[in-house]
Structure 1
Amino acid sequence: MSEKAPETFEGLSYEEAREQLVAVVSRLEAGGVSLEESLALWERGEALAARCEEWLEGARRRLDAARGNAAPGEAPAAEG
């Protein structure tokens, strides 16, 4: 069996990654695919979900920075 290079999703916008993730979930829920294809879809879904999370985390950091809670790239200060 030949190994494919892992697909990267760095160039996808949040909306594109989410749309592809929804399509993957729909295919998995519909069933009727082989075990090998199911595993490939699962791995693709995991990578797409991680890409969406990267976008959301970046948005959180930007909002925190805009609110003055933290500098861009820094974690917000703990309240105490």
Structure 2
Amino acid sequence: MIWELDFALLLFMICCAIAAITVRDLLHATIILAAYSLIMTVLWAEMNAVDVAFTEAAVGAGITTVLFIAAISRTRRSSSD
């Protein structure tokens, strides 16, 4: 494995995790978590765990993101903060 790429992906994952818990908009948090899941997919594929990478891409970045966005679209904003 290329350690520079691993380190860059690790830093990006940490930034995504911090951004997902600090952002106030749910849609932005969902998109950031989808990016986090895609980076996890790249890491699993780099570690030669292709079956886990496909599952992470399908479930983590695909289905979960779509379900989160569908749930967010059905909610109303009650405050203007």
TM-score (norm 1): 0.48
Which has the larger share of helix? 2
Q: Tell me the TM-score normalized by structure 2.
A: 0.48
